[in-house]
A and B are shown apart, each in its own frame.
Chain A
Amino acid sequence: MNLETVLIGAIVGAAAGWLVRRWLAAARRRKAGGCAGDCGCAAKIQPKK
């Protein structure tokens, strides 16, 4: 395996990992009652149970 293959693998792996992490974080935000979008808004106010 040459340097070029290692570099490509690292870049593609990092991109895929970053996307998966981002989607998981959005799912967690949504579950906590926050906004799942990319708008960057603050967590929504949740009434007390």
Chain B
Amino acid sequence: MSAAEPGLTVALVGNPNTGKSTLFNALTGLRQRVGNYPGVTVARKSGQCDCGDGTKVELIDLPGLYSLSAASPDEQVVIDALSGHLADDRRPDAVVVVIDATNLLRNLFLASQLSELNLPVVLVLNQADVAAEQGLKINTELLSRRLGGIPVVLTSAWKGEGISAVRRAIGEALRARVRMPAVEWPPLVEEALADVAAGVAADIGRAPGRADVERLLFDSTTSVGQRLGWAAPRRDVVIRAARDKVRRAGYNPLAAEPLIHYERLRKLLEGVVQGGGNRTGGSAAVDQVLLHRVLGPVVFAGIMLGMFAAVFWLAKFPMQWISGGVDALKLGVAPLLDGMPMLQSLVTDGMIGGVGAFLAFLPQILILFLFVSILEDSGYMARAAFIMDRLFSWCGLNGKSFVPLLSGFACAIPGILSTRTIEDPKARLATAFAVPFMSCSARFPVYALMCAAFIGPLYGPGWESVVMVGMHCVGLLFAVPTAFVLTRFVLKVKPQPFVLELPRYQMPKPRDVLWRMWQNAAEFVSRAGTVIFAITIIVWALSYFPRDPAVEQRIRATAVGVAPAVVDAQVQSAYVEQSWMGRFGKSVQPIFDPCGFDWKITVGVLASFPAREVIVSTLGVTYSVGEGAEADSKHLQQVMRDAKWTEGPRVGTPIFSLAAILALMVFFALCSQCGPTVATLAQETGGWKWAAISFVYMTALAWLMAVAVYQGVSRLA
């Protein structure tokens, strides 16, 4: 086969948690998030794979699934992709089936089903190192012979072992095009399948594929019938008659398929696997503590507390270095633009001040993702899912909701998209509605700014992590009752059992952990250099213009005997107050006054509706412009600590009181301040109705809770 042969595609399929994504990374050189909880792969991922002989193929990583009976939209995508029923993809030229070498029987069920697709197959028995640890010996040659001669390869993807053999096997499969023999159905079942095929052909005028016929006979869903255009009632009559034949063969029609496949697989595996019996060992002992009804949640809370404490402690000095660098840059650039005060303010107060305030949180983001990656790759996150499932099942959410909700802690968008793994449409909607409550990483800089500026200095460094954990719980605290009301009274979701496969514990691979950190750092810096940078310029312009010279003249005329630096600060403050942003902020501020927000915070809150982290750069700009040159030598945190009310009943008191800080954080924890999230919710729920309900509900709730917190804490204080 020549290297120039174009358009060859190979699909990578397998059960969740078989190391499929790790193998994909190893084969393509691309990196993809590697998690230990099921359903991590939702979107289409592809990359180029070199087969070792110069042949290059497009490798597609499909979502993990247990069988071809599509229950969720996610599983339907796999079946459509493998059958060539997707709009932009043709049928793959071969399939690589990734199997957990420690559990061949269960994993081979999917491979056995795939044999009906009549595609060349490569069988990859991954996690060979774990199988060896468990004393399992697998005769791959015998297995290959029994499967019609298809290539069978033993690998340990996370150790990088056997990857070249997989490449060669893909090349071989494409050359030899060896298929896995299909299952031999009992005569009556075979007859029933033939009846269904004949019924479809008679009604729609073309013969269906064998895999489609099996789905029609064995599945309770009607998606294949709908896709083929085979309509009821004729469809139901044919299928009912065919299922009667399956019953006469001694099988329940909806259970016949797995029973017959497993019967075949048991015979097929005789003599293939030897040894074993050392399956649980250390993992089970550790799980007795980590999954304990009482100890489990305690350990989980301890891990979260420790993680945030470490984030603050480790990031303290790098943050100071970045802030110091930003300040030095401002002071260094300002003299170069001395003749152009407007441009000087744009560059120092706007660009450097705004983006610098945001970038200062890079070390915290890096360290946070270091810990999250370690927890995920070690296998602990799946245990956390198990612990949290008790809470979710109480509020009526499907157990599968945990993965989207957990993803929501990083970003709500992939969280909402991953609700596609949930079969029940009502449970899917309820989960998608609850996901934006999870404290995403965009909220992190807001909490971090408040904790670093006020909580740490006022109450000691230990309290920073306590408040951080608390703020991450606030969203959960409101998501749970919201989901409860939605699932029980509005959508009336039927409870469904949750089966979670707990992966074995493993040492996180430094390369994958560092790659995740790098990806998140790159995304954070990229946002700072693009969206945040552009919004910062707009916020600066709105805070700077118009500039009426009469404002300055009036202040200087009345400021007799006042120090020049104080007069300068008064001038800058007056300018920003009469700017477009100042006028707008002051007109809207009465709405947020009960929350304890001054007009500058109000402006920050409103500017953050497209993306919530914008508040950090907005405060950076409004406080820099408002403070004038003096602010160039002070960190944003110091400027905020010094800010006081200049009018109204609170005149002279700090703007950022404990009550106002907590109210601001609670507002950001609950408010729907992310344009792309609202749009994604609309997309996934098939209209703007639920997106609009979510936006109004979350925003109103955020305001109410911010008012309650501010008023309550103010009175207590």
Footprint of B on A, CB under 8 Å? 4-5, 7-8, 11-12, 15-16, 18-19, 22-23, 26-27, 30, 33, 35-49
Contact = CB atoms under 8 A, between A and B. Distances in A.
Given A46-B87, A47-B80, A47-B85, A11 B537 contact: yes
A35 B76 contact: no
Contacts of B534: 15-16, 18-19
Nearest to B541: A12
Contacts, number: 94
A43 B413 CA distance: 14
A40 B411 CA distance: 13
A26 B679 contact: yes
B349 to A, nearest CB: 13
Interface in B503-555: 523, 527, 531, 533-535, 537-538, 541
A47 B679 contact: no
B342 A42 contact: no
30 contacts: A4-B342, A4-B343, A7-B343, A8-B343, A12-B541, A19-B534, A22-B531, A23-B675, A30-B680, A35-B43, A36-B413, A36-B679, A36-B683, A37-B411, A37-B676, A38-B523, A38-B531, A40-B523, A41-B414, A44-B417, A45-B77, A45-B80, A45-B86, A45-B89, A47-B76, A47-B77, A47-B80, A47-B85, A48-B87, A48-B227
Interface string B679-702: 110110000000000000000000
Given A11-B346, A12-B538, A37-B411, A4 B680 contact: no
Contact of A44 (B43, B46, B533): B43
Contacts of A19: 531, 534-535, 538
A6 to B, nearest CB: 11
Contacts of B77: 45, 47
B86 A48 contact: yes
Interface string B337-361: 0001011001000000000000000
B43 A15 contact: no
A11 B43 CA distance: 37
Nearest to B678: A36
A42 B43 contact: yes
A15 B680 contact: no
Contacts of A7: 343
B281 to A, nearest CB: 38
B154 interface: no
B537 A15 contact: yes
A47 B413 CA distance: 21
A30 B537 contact: no
B411 A39 contact: yes
Contacts of A22: 531
Interface string B70-87: 000000110011000111
B610 to A, nearest CB: 8
Nearest to A22: B531
Given A45-B86, A46-B87, 19 more contacts: A8-B346, A8-B541, A12-B538, A15-B537, A19-B535, A27-B679, A36-B676, A37-B677, A38-B523, A38-B676, A40-B523, A42-B44, A42-B45, A44-B43, A44-B44, A45-B44, A45-B80, A47-B80, A48-B86
Contacts of B683: 30, 33, 36
Contacts of A4: 340, 342-343
A24 B610 CA distance: 14
Interface of B: 43-46, 76-77, 80-81, 85-89, 227, 340, 342-343, 346, 411, 413-414, 417, 523, 527, 531, 533-535, 537-538, 541, 675-677, 679-680, 682-683
A28 to B, nearest CB: 12
B43 A36 contact: no
B579 to A, nearest CB: 13
A19 B535 CA distance: 8
A11 B407 CA distance: 37
A45 B497 CA distance: 28
A39 B408 CA distance: 13
A39 B413 contact: yes
Nearest to B527: A38
A40 to B, nearest CB: 8
Contacts of B87: 45-49
B547 to A, nearest CB: 11
A40 B675 CA distance: 16
A41 B194 CA distance: 42
Contacts of B43: 35, 41-42, 44
B105 to A, nearest CB: 30
Tell which of A18, A43, A48, A49 has the most Cβ of chain B within 10 Å.
A48
Contacts of A33: 683
A46 B86 contact: yes
A13 B662 CA distance: 36
Contacts of B676: 26, 36-38
Contact of B342 (A5, A18, A36, A37): A5
The 5 closest A-B pairs by CB, nearest first: A37-B413, A15-B537, A15-B534, A36-B679, A37-B676
A26 B502 CA distance: 37
A18 B529 CA distance: 13
A27 B81 CA distance: 26
A31 to B, nearest CB: 9
Given A42-B45, A47-B85, A36 B680 contact: yes
